[in-house]
Structure 1
Amino acid sequence: MARPVIAVTGPERGAFGPRALVAAAIRWYGGKPVHIRPSEIDCHPAYDGVVVTGGHDIDPVLYAAEPEVEPRHDKARDALETRIIEEALWRRLPLLGICRGAQLLNVCLGGSLHQELRSRRRHTSNRWTILPLKTLRIQSGTVLAELMGGARCRINSLHNQAIDTVGDGLRVSGVDLDGIVQAIEDPSRGFLVGVQWHPEFLIAMPRHRVLFRALVEAATAAAGSRTVA
């Protein structure tokens, strides 16, 4: 069977490190990563699964909110990834949203975001770090719990926004020690998971690498089903 093609979205320029690590994790489990940039919004290749990577904040106009912080948006990327997410939802493709990818998935399903987190922190630091220095509390009975195991896990933190109102069909599968949403999922759609941390920086740790394994396995199954059909 041919390797499943996994679309990896990102900005027009930059973010080489995170995208390279995502691609490495996908290849590790037998997938074929294909990078898609905003300039390719109308001519991207066919794919069997999606990773929406991290980056700039999402334009609050997408969830009908007024800006509360100094804007740092990428409208072209918002447009690309909104289309990719909507197509993946319509085709019921497996999807992993990372950081802003999880946030945009939530917005595409009617949810909203906290535009700043400093004022909402009581037990956790607002410092950004790629190291697994923060605590994830995993909700029992979720896809995330089945994949990662255990009730707690150490994660990194590179975000200044997070999910507020959860989108239609989604459920919270992980929070930090302040109760800030760190993971969402919709088990009715197969593999549809968004995580607020960056597992690509932690791929040496099996508990984080498993997210990419599950994505590639789901994409392989989806591609096989379409081939038979």
Structure 2
Amino acid sequence: MRPVIGITTYVEPATWGVWHELPTTLVPHDYDAAVTQAGGRAVLIPPDDLDADVLRVLDGLVLSGGADLGPELYGAEPGPLTISRPDRDSGEMLLARAALARDLPILGVCRGMQLLTVAAGGTLHQHLPDVLGHERHRPAPGVYGMHEARFTEGSRIAGLMGEDTRVHCFHHQGVDDPGSLTITGRAEDGTPEAVEDPARRFVLGVQWHPEVTRDKRLFGALVAAAGG
């Protein structure tokens, strides 16, 4: 049987057919397509902070991208450009911490990497342009930035990426203190691009969007760990 991979989702207003601005549970199709093409069975998980019992039927977990993480989760006050989704935050933080405790294979994407970081006791920069002085990580609405990343020799992400280190990014927040995780990748400007927990089976967070290219290197590694 294919490993069952849960993917966290958004609740956003959506329009289709005769329905307009209807609150909708959704996630870009690239996520589930990437899991399927890597050999997994994708299951979508809506926000739910009542319990983490769904983990009992999952073999792996993808923490998807999306809105900013609420700064109260890491002891900070919201900045003027921070827009969070408290329903996602509470439900996904519960899932992330329970999945880490169970040693469930986890891939965190963009916001998902930041969620993993905070779950591991870390903190975030709320608006990277204030730190970096540029907006190349989110060049325009709906436009991915592209750059080369560099990875720590011997790390899991270095082994997965090989010589092709180009990444597609779209974010304005980023990791400050990684907590108990290890930063294993950075952009040219020093921004953390990957975090790992070498002590666990498979815990990897990437600040870019590998689902956009349906990257079998990363999603395949998650599915392989989930099926092992």
Deviation at 1:149, TM superposition (A): 1.0
Whole-angstrom distance in 2 between the partners of 1:29 and 1:57: 28
Please name the residue that 2:20 is paired with: none
Please state which structure has a larger fraction of its residues in strand. 2
Q: Where does structure 2 lack aligned partners over 5 or more consecutive residues?
A: 13-23
Instruction: Give me the whole-angstrom Cα distance separating, in 2, the residues matched to 1:109 and 1:87.
Output: 12
Bigger mean CA deviation after superposition, 119-128 or 193-202: 119-128
Structure 1 counterpart of 2:174: 162
Q: Is the 8 A contact 1:117 1:161 kept in 2?
A: yes
Relative to structure 1, is the Cα distance of residues 130 and 212 closer, same or farther in structure 2, using a 3 angstrom cutoff? Answer: farther
- Kept in 1: contact 2:25–2:46 (CA 8 A): no
More helix by share: 1
Is 1:34 the equivalent of 2:39?
no
Q: Which runs of 4+ in 1 moved over 3 A?
A: 13-17, 39-45, 128-132
Provide the alpha-carbon RMSD of the alignment. 2.1
Farther-moved stretch of structure 1 (61-70 vs 87-96): 61-70
Supply the AA of the counterpart residue of 2:148: T
Q: 1:217 to 1:17 in 2, by over 3 A?
A: same
For 1:62-141, what aligned pairs fall within 5 Å after superposition? 62-121=73-132, 125-126=136-137, 127-128=139-140, 131=144, 133-141=146-154
Residue matched to 2:15 = none
Instruction: Tell me if 1:21 matches 2:30.
Output: yes
CA deviation after TM superposition for structure 1 residue 102, in Å: 0.3
Output the TM-score relative to the length of structure 2. Answer: 0.86
Structure 1 stretches of 5 or more lacking a match? 222-229
Structure 1 match to 2:59: 48
1:153 aligns with 2:169: no
Residues 1:210 and 2:209 are matched in the alignment:
no
Cα distance change, pair 202–58 in 1 and its aligned pair in 2 (3 A): same
Q: Distance in 2 between matches of 1:210 and 1:96?
A: 12
Alignment of 1:149-228 (within 5 A): 149-150=162-163, 153-168=165-180, 170-203=181-214, 208-221=215-228
Q: How many residues align?
A: 213
SS of structure 1 residue aligned to 2:108: strand
Structure 2 counterpart of 1:144: 157
| Further displaced range: 42-51 or 53-62 | 42-51
How much identity, in percent, do the aligned residues show? 40
| TM-score when normalising by structure 1 | 0.86
2:93 is paired with a residue of what secondary structure? helix
Q: Deviations over 1:55-80 (max 9, x none)?
A: 00000000001122234111110011
